[in-house]
């Protein structure tokens, strides 16, 4: 192959995997730089989110924050497994044999599957909070949230390591094996891609229903309260802001995952060219980018989590006395956010709070807490 520099290592030869080494020297440099830059950033962001939730007893009791912690944990795994596996395989041609490769690929699959699965639980949590506001605390208890996470991660680990357990291509590296991933059968690749597409469809449907439900509620509340023209314009602006926020979330999610999934489906249906394989290698880094922006979209936009973060930083600066004060001082955030009560909070933070008080009070406040 032209412009390809294969670097054999002491761990093994790259001859058998030569058709999978599709990147030239310049391309390896670019993708290697992306991985080595985005990987540590993703790791630090998600570790910070995990640390904040783990050190706050209040946040650990909330199902919504448990789902956020699961998402952060999956993205921590993604930053480690993907970066190490991708750099070793494409840059250093590290080939330790089928079992070692499938173990590393299973780690990458587990992390990204867990990330998308946690996004699905977060979306369903928000929809349930909006659709069954008065029954939310009874329907989604902490125990049920933990059981959902246990089921998610058990299924994720099992599905991710099926190739290592035996569901691999029977012909080694020859067709009908995947031409994107060594030793992976077309059957496994098609099933995994279909599952991820189904999960993404559920996420899109949940957020579409959230937007529709929030708009209907705002219209009904305006009609009941006889809102003036200025109030109706304000509600319209809130609808626009809500649509923009949810649109941004969905655009990033679909934009990062759809190209990769399309290439995987194409790999099952046809023989990919070298140019298409190179494009897939670049598109796969979008999944790592998605893991990098998830903390910004889902966690650090939450006011309660930011309040805990600020308190932890003050403790680091002020020492033990500050920490003891912050431990017993009541939070002014909940009272403040109840009074603020705007519908914009539905865009993100609506479902990161359990309903407080009656159903009507919940709807009027737009959620206990919200985004800035």
Instruction: Based on DSSP, count helices (H) and strands (E) in the chain, helices before strands.
Output: 14, 0
Residue 357, in any domain of the structure:
no
Q: What total number of domains does the chain contain?
A: 1
pLDDT at 139 exceeding the cut of 50: yes
Q: Is residue 319 part of a domain?
A: no
pLDDT in tens, 241-295: 667 777 888 889 999 999 999 999 998 888 888 888 888 988 988 999 999 999 9
- Asked whether residue 263 is domain-assigned, the answer is yes
Least confident of 156-165, 302-311, 326-335: 326-335
Residue 315 belongs to a domain? no
Residue 10: predicted pLDDT: 36
CATH of the domain at 178: 1.20.1070.10
Q: How confident is the model at residue 337 (pLDDT cuts 50, 70, 90)?
A: very low
Q: Average pLDDT in the 165-183 region?
A: 78
Span 333-360, average pLDDT = 39
Q: Which residue has the higher pLDDT, 223 or 313?
A: 313
Q: What does the alpha-carbon distance between residue 299 and residue 310 come to, in Å, rounded to a whole number?
A: 14
Highest averaged pLDDT of the listed ranges 21-25, 217-221, 223-227: 21-25
Alpha-carbon separation of residue 312 from 16, 54, 60, 366 (angstroms): 52, 12, 16, 28
Residue 165 in domain: yes
Polymer length in residues for the chain: 372
- Asked whether the predicted pLDDT for residue 174 surpasses 50, the reply is yes
Q: How many CA atoms lie within 13 A of 340 on its CB side?
A: 18
| Domain span at 175 | 18-291
Q: Is residue 2 part of a domain?
A: no
Task: Decide if 367 is inside a domain.
Answer: no
pLDDT at 345 over 80: no
The mean of the pLDDT values for the chain is 76
pTM for the model stands at 0.78
Answer yes or no: is pLDDT of 177 > 60.
Answer: yes
Q: What is the pLDDT of residue 222?
A: 63
What value does the mean pLDDT take over residues 321-347? 41
Does any domain span residue 84? yes
Q: Is 253 exposed, middle or buried (0-12, 13-18, 19+ CB in 10 A)?
A: buried
Residue from 364, 362, 336 nearest 351 by CA: 362
């Amino acid at each position: 192959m032209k412009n390809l520099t294969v670097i054999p290592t002491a761990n093994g030869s790259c001859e058998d995997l030569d058709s999978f080494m599709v990147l030239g020297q310049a391309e390896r440099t670019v993708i290697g730089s992306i991985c080595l830059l985005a990987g540590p950033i993703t790791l630090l962001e998600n570790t910070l989110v995990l640390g904040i939730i783990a050190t706050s007893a209040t946040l650990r009791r909330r199902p919504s924050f448990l789902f956020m912690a699961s998402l952060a944990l999956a993205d921590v795994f993604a930053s480690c497994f993907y970066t190490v596996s991708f750099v070793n395989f494409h840059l250093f041609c590290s080939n330790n044999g089928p079992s070692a490769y499938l173990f590393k690929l299973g780690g990458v699959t587990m992390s990204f599957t867990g990330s998308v699965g946690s996004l699905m639980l977060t979306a369903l949590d928000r929809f349930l909070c909006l659709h069954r506001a008065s029954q939310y605390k009874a329907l989604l208890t902490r125990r049920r949230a933990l059981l959902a996470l246990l089921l998610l991660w058990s299924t994720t680990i099992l599905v991710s390591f099926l190739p290592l357990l035996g569901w691999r291509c029977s012909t080694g590296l020859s067709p009908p094996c995947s031409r994107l991933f060594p030793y992976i059968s077309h059957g496994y690749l098609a099933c995994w891609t279909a599952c991820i597409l189904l999960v993404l469809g559920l996420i899109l449907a949940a957020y579409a229903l959230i937007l529709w439900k929030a708009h209907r509620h705002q219209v009904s509340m305006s009609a009941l309260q006889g809102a003036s023209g200025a109030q109706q314009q304000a509600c319209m602006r809130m609808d626009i802001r809500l649509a923009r926020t949810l649109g941004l979330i969905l655009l990033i999610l679909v934009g990062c995952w759809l190209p990769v999934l399309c290439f995987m489906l194409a790999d099952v249906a046809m023989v990919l060219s070298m140019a298409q394989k190179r494009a897939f290698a670049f598109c796969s880094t979008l999944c790592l980018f998605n893991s990098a922006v998830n903390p910004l979209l889902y966690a650090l936009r939450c006011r309660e989590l930011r309040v805990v973060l600020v308190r932890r930083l003050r403790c680091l600066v002020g020492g033990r006395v500050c920490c003891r004060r912050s431990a017993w001082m009541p939070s002014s955030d909940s009272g403040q956010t109840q009074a603020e009560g705007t519908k914009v909070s539905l865009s993100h933070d609506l479902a990161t709070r359990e309903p407080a008080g009656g159903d009507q009070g919940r709807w009027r406040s737009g959620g206990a807490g919200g985004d800035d």
